[in-house]
Amino acid sequence: MTTSQTSDAGTFETVNPATGQVIGLFPVAGPEQAAAAVSRAREASRWWAELGWRERRNRLLDWKAQVTRQLDELAILVHDETGKPADDARLEIVLAILHIDWAARHAHRVLGAHRVFSGVAALNLSATVEYQPLGVIGVIGPWNYPVLTPMGSIAYALAAGNAVIFKPSEFTPAVGEWLVASFAQTAGRGSPQPVLQLLTGDGRTGAALTTSGVDKVAFTGSAATARKVMAAAAERLTPVIAECGGKDALIVDADADLNAAADAAAWGGLSNAGQTCIGVERVYVADPVYETFLAKLTERVTALRPGSEAGASYGPMTMPSQIEVIRRHLTDAVARGGRALPSSLESVEDAIDGGYVRPVILTDVPEDAAAVREETFGPTITVRRVASLEEGIRLANASAYGLGASIFSGSRRRAVAAARALRTGAASVNSVVSFMLVPALPFGGVGESGFGRIHGADGLREFARAKSIASQWMKSPAPVTTFARTDKDVARTLGLVRFLHGRRRPRS
Ligand code: TXE
């Protein structure tokens, strides 16, 4: 069974990964379609930018209201295309709604013109900075959170005044189509200007969009594909944001609330079948509480049931090829002395059931095994005993990835210090993935997890260019940027600089 197939006719089908039912047929757009979309978007971006902050805000809020009213309809589509439980789809959409709202309401404050102090040596100048839209943004989306993840770029790029061309994953084009149609109906208000366009297809379409003349590419997917996107974008010096995968760690301190930590590890690691870039993949537990924590986690994990029926804990693997990655990681871990829990699992194959993977906890796995080093993106987690919180931090940081992390500790001060010491873009303290619940917090990675930030004020600035304006409101008392300057003008300027900057600071 495949969930996405390309036909000779330049079209592809999406298929429900739980039932095998065909959901829709979509065109595979190539370079010509990508170029045509960019040329339409150019004009639309000018129209959209000229609407101004207030009008764009109102239109985006109208879109948000429509998505909220039709949340159930969209959730069913997400459920059908990804296989995730409908309530998980609903919660994903709720987060996307919060982002449209935040971006719409804060764009003017963050990006609008504001004065900055011009400095004592330039008091004759009034200085302002403002953030102007880049123009046309290409958003290349993934399938695991087909609403939330691309919305982290789409809503912020639109709020900043750009037009957007959205290439959803080939596994979730119907969700992409729904979002684009709903934007046109509400924010577009019947205007023929295609401010948000859809471009469907697979990697070839993503590649065509990357080199089509867009002003920035916002990519979410694997680090391997991010490298291809960057290489292709380099041809036109097109800037790129790369939101790639992760290998997030959860660290349990000796005085942590073990019930809360076990809940968080189970949910963070196994919800959405582990197909979450900020999913928990590694757990490091302080020695004194290791056995108790492991028992609590095993109890919770044993109760989980993958399936497509209502009440299932999580659904099938959305992308069938992921099962091979999971099989390889499990087989390698067990071959290298790892133990798989729950103990009812007699072999790796017991964990794999058609398109579903049962939850697996791996213990005693060496740190250089694939299950610890590479992104598994499945419902499996490794658990390892560590001597202290500090050792947990050291092992967590010994990863090429650096997206998110969680720390559970009885001391919030210790936990926050640990959060700072982790080489990741974000961290949750005594909670898991909680930084995702705050739209004002920027989101993005380090190393193989990518670069650039979506969400929050940084996310708005990613889709804008800073424009600096210095405006002279009175003549300089000592003009130096003129051939008419006198020795006295230069001396006066140097005197001021020596007075302001040349004195020794008293030792404090
Ligand atoms: O990713 P790809 P896939 C990780 C996860 C998963 C692995 C592969 O580990 O197992 O990546 O997933 C488009 N130029 N994540 O195959 O290939 C493609 O059409 C431009 C983590 O889905 O990176 C899709 O829209 N675009 C991640 C998007 O890139 C190209 C979410 C992602 O596809 C392209 C998803 C090209 N040459 C997977 N080739 C996360 N950060 O959450 C493909 N694409």
DSSP-assigned letter for residue 438: -
Is there a contact between 141 and 82 (Cβ–Cβ < 8 Å)? no
- Ligand 1 mean position to 220 CA, how many Å? 7
Question: What is the end-to-end Cα distance of the chain in Å, rounded?
Answer: 71
Per-residue pLDDT of the chain (508 residues; tens, 9 = 90+): 334 444 444 999 999 999 999 999 999 999 999 999 999 999 999 999 999 999 999 999 999 999 999 999 999 999 999 999 999 999 999 999 999 999 999 999 999 999 999 998 899 999 999 999 999 999 999 999 999 999 999 999 999 999 999 999 999 999 999 999 999 999 988 788 999 999 999 999 999 999 999 999 999 999 999 999 999 999 999 999 999 999 999 999 999 999 999 999 999 999 999 999 999 999 999 999 999 999 999 999 999 999 999 899 999 999 999 999 999 999 999 999 999 998 777 888 889 999 999 999 999 999 999 999 999 999 999 999 999 999 999 999 999 999 999 999 999 999 999 999 999 999 999 999 999 999 999 999 999 999 999 999 999 999 999 999 999 999 998 999 999 999 999 999 999 999 999 998 877 6
346 is an active site residue: no
Closest Cα to atom 33, ligand 1: which residue? 221
- Ligand 1 mean position to 94 CA, how many Å? 24
Q: Which of 81, 92, 243, 462 is catalytic?
A: 243
> From CA 195, how far away is CA 47, in angstroms rounded?
9
Is there a contact between 23 and 81 (Cβ–Cβ < 8 Å)? yes
For 381, the 3-state DSSP assignment is strand
- Ligand 1 mean position to 318 CA, how many Å? 13
- List, in order, residues 6 or more apart from 421 with CB less than 8 Å away: 393, 397
Mutate to test the pocket of ligand 1, among 28, 140, 225 (most ligand atoms within 8 A of CB): 225
Q: What is the CATH number of domain 248-439?
A: 3.40.309.10
> From CA 198, how far away is CA 216, in angstroms rounded?
16
Amino acid in position 141 = G
Give the position of tokens 């006066």: 492
- Ligand 1 mean position to 219 CA, how many Å? 9
- Picking from 154, 307, 311, the residue whose alpha carbon sits closest to that of residue 220 is 154
pLDDT of 189 reads: 85
Is there a contact between 314 and 84 (Cβ–Cβ < 8 Å)? yes
Domain ranges for the chain, please list them: 30-244+455-465, 248-439, 477-508
Pick the CATH number of 30-244+455-465 from 3.40.50.720, 3.40.605.10, 3.30.2010.30, 2.160.10.10: 3.40.605.10
Q: Which of 81, 92, 277, 462 is catalytic?
A: 277
How do the residues of the chain divide into helix, strand and coil, expressed in percent and rounded to 5?
A: 45, 20, 35
- Ligand 1 mean position to 183 CA, how many Å? 25
50 is an active site residue: no
**Cα angle: 273, vertex 80, 34; to 5 degrees:** 100
**Which residues does a 6 A CB cutoff place in the pocket of ligand 1?**
140-144, 167, 169-170, 202-203, 206-207, 210, 220-222, 225, 228-229, 243-245, 277, 319, 322, 375, 377
pLDDT of 505 reads: 81
Closest Cα to atom 32, ligand 1: which residue? 221
> From CA 357, how far away is CA 326, in angstroms rounded?
9
Closest Cα to atom 39, ligand 1: which residue? 203
